[in-house]
Amino acid sequence: MTDTSLLGQPIESIATPAPVVDLDLLEQNLRRMAAYFAKRPCKLRPHFKSHKCVELARRQLAAGACTGITCAKLAEAEQLAAGGIQDILIANQVVGADKARRLAALNRQATVRCAVDSLENARQLSGVATESGVRIPVLLEVDIGMKRCGVPPGTPALELARELSHLPGLRFDGLQAYEGHVVDLPDPEERRRKTSEAVAQVIETRRVLERAGLPVTMVSGGGTGTYDITGNVDGIDEVQCGSYALMDWSYARVRTEFVVARWILATIVSSHPGYAVADVGTKGLGCEFGRPLVAGRSEASARSVSEEHATFDGLKADVGDKVRLIPSHGCTTQNLYRRMWIMRGGMIVDLWPIEGSGFLE
């Protein structure tokens, strides 16, 4: 059967493995997050890296995301711009002459910011932007505890910000800081305390820059795990929530107000007393945070996940039965597919491309 011929058919008609999204649950998640920020000074800038689907990004904006879209890679930004998104933040450094030229070209059709944390990178972007006749807006990334990218808060950030503000072809827009080391802490009070401690560093850095006469238009950071903490800090202008839209089982245990709206439909290909085997493994499931769960089958537990198979103890199922597997990491799961099936009431209603999947640059 062709893809279009499956519209209106039960989801069990889909060849497996395949990602399936429950549209009712997705819309519930989008409304909940948008409503939280609707009347707050801080705004929502959803993260594309979690779903990599331009249609879903459009729906996030339509639901009430009031800023623009965040993404992780230059190639993702190119897909978003091609899809008509006009305000894009690449929440990473864009390094290399070829990538700098692509970023400059993107800024002819949309506002596409990126993060910087070194003078060397900034000078490269500045040179290419000047040659191209555009201005590239940048956010200075501040390390507030994750120990990944970013300059230390306070004076080191001020010194680099001063340099950025004088480079031709660049527009210094403000700061980025991500408290990624605490977003998934299971204890709510510990997560709140450690998030507040981390975010306080970028707020003080903002004040240092402003006292020095450097305007800070925006401070961007946060995520699904800390949206209601970071999003209420005076001086944070936007949060980069991503996982809330589709969710996975590891994040659903941290943020119970959002529901799992996407799973991987799989087929049982081998059945035995006490266990059954599904037709998807690590090539179709992001397992960084644990093995998959079987939706609605709490008695089943994943014994192993190999490249093409997932074996579940306690799962009573016949060969040919379809099961819904919930991954532990939705972001890397989504990157393994090129399209996702959309269902409502158990019936297929649409098929959305995952334009950003597979792009690593």
Q: Could you read off the pLDDT tens digit of each residue along the chain, which spans 361 residues?
A: 468 789 999 999 999 999 999 999 999 999 999 999 999 999 999 999 999 999 999 999 999 978 799 999 999 999 999 999 999 999 999 999 999 999 999 999 999 999 999 999 999 999 999 999 999 999 999 999 999 999 999 999 999 999 999 999 999 999 999 999 999 999 999 999 999 999 999 999 999 999 999 999 999 999 999 999 999 999 999 999 999 999 999 999 999 999 999 999 999 999 999 999 999 999 999 999 999 999 999 999 999 999 999 999 999 999 999 999 999 999 999 999 999 999 999 999 999 999 999 988 9
Terminal C-alpha separation, the chain: 35
Instruction: Please return the burial class of 204, using the count of CB atoms within 10 Å of its CB with bins 0-12, 13-18 and 19+.
Output: middle
What is the pTM for the complete model shown?
0.96
Of 283, 291, 280, whose CA–CA distance to 328 is shortest? 291
Sequence-distant (6+) residues with CB within 8 A of 215 are none
CA separation for the pair 53, 262 (Å, rounded): 13
Residue intervals of the chain classified under CATH 3.20.20.10 are 40-245
**Fold category of 40-245 in CATH:** TIM Barrel (3.20.20)
pLDDT value at residue 5? 87
Amino acid in position 85: I
Residue 42 DSSP label: S
The domain 4-19+257-353 belongs to what CATH superfamily?
D-serine dehydratase-like domain (2.40.37.20)
Based on its alpha-carbon atoms, the radius of gyration of the chain, rounded to whole angstroms, reads: 22
pLDDT value at residue 2? 61
Residue intervals of the chain classified under CATH 2.40.37.20 are 4-19+257-353
The vertex-26 CA angle with 21 and 28, nearest 5°, equals 150
Following DSSP, what letter does each residue of 176-230 receive, concatenated?
EE--TTTTT-SSHHHHHHHHHHHHHHHHHHHHHHHHTT----EEEE--GGGHHHH
